[in-house]
A and B are shown apart, each in its own frame.
Chain A
Amino acid sequence: MNKMMSALLALAISLPAFAEMVNTNEIGGLESLRKEEVSVEPQAEYMKKDQEGSAMGREFVDMPPLIPHSVDRYQVDKNANSCLRCHSMKNADKWGATKIAVSHYKNREGQQLADVAPNRYFCLTCHVPQKDAKPLKENTFEPVESLKKH
């Protein structure tokens, strides 16, 4: 009888846990950007096209400006930097391209260098081609104009 009682008691205590196990979905009941279950392979989104032409504005203070053209197959490595070919201080005038900022000629110690600083060399780390893509999460970033209000 005693054994029967403790077995029932154990069952009663563990029931909520069992219930949770049954109810919980694969992502542990959390809200995630990935809407589908882990085991489901959702339909891939179509590739977003690069928006060539006029440059989109900056969405927050100090935002690296977006690239208003495609950079498909651009080579940026030890051998060559396809971006600097047009955007370096030296070449920008010839190609009518936007010059890279003077800040990019300073290394992390603030020393002025004659060439692009090594830590600024990989342009595509910060600058990306502009696409018609909506933010996945809401955010509170605001363009520089918002500073005037305060």
Chain B
Amino acid sequence: MNKVLLLAKQLWQFLRRPSAKLSVGLILVVGFVSAFILHGTYSATMKYTSTLEFCSSCHTNDVVPEYQESVHFSNASGVQADCASCHLPKEFLPKMTRKIQASREVFAHFTGKVDTPEKFEAHRREMAEREWARMEANDSQECRNCHTQESMELSEQSLLAVKNHTAAEKNGETCIQCHKGIAHKLPDMTGVPGWE
């Protein structure tokens, strides 16, 4: 144990010592190049792991085909919201939190937790509830990235929608409370408020 401590101390001292042989220029160049490479790798990984293609590599037999039937995949205007638009926060910290949480899902994938439609169906409710809770907690931020209350033209909506959107705003309700299962099949809704 003492040896390890000694080694750590020596390393620390080495790191603290000003460089005597290397030029400042070399240190700067090495620093810039490695920062460039690391940042490039980071953003490329972030980008790739947020694509529909990447999500589909595991979810091709469950939620992806459901999403492909939904209006967020294809619609009259041709604007598409992909997996990340709804399931991955845009802000840095929530995004990193979600990415780290997602490592659990990678583990579940390799251990085959939901690798058959039956197994997926058995866990659908708990997975949906997790996502509902996340969206209720951040005031449906991912919905609001595109659908803002301010830019909703209420006069273009049906009377029912006008009434309920106005009331929802007044009561501080959030999108996901009413709009569940818009891109995926609903789980067993027994006992979910509003669905009895």
Contacts and interface: CB of A to CB of B under 8 A. Distances in A.
A85 B195 contact: yes
Contacts of A72: 71
A79 B189 contact: yes
Contacts of A150: none
A80 B196 contact: no
Interface residues of B, number: 17
Interface in A40-96: 52, 69, 72-73, 75, 77-80, 85, 90-91, 95-96
Q: How large is the interface on A (under 10, 10 to 19, 20 to 34, 35 or more residues)?
A: 10 to 19
B168 interface: no
A94 to B, nearest CB: 8
Contacts, number: 33
Given A75-B186, A91-B194, A80 B160 contact: no
Given A85-B194, A85-B195, A90-B196, A75 B181 contact: yes
B123 interface: no
A80 B164 contact: no
A73 B71 contact: yes
Interface of A: 52, 69, 72-73, 75, 77-80, 85, 90-91, 95-97
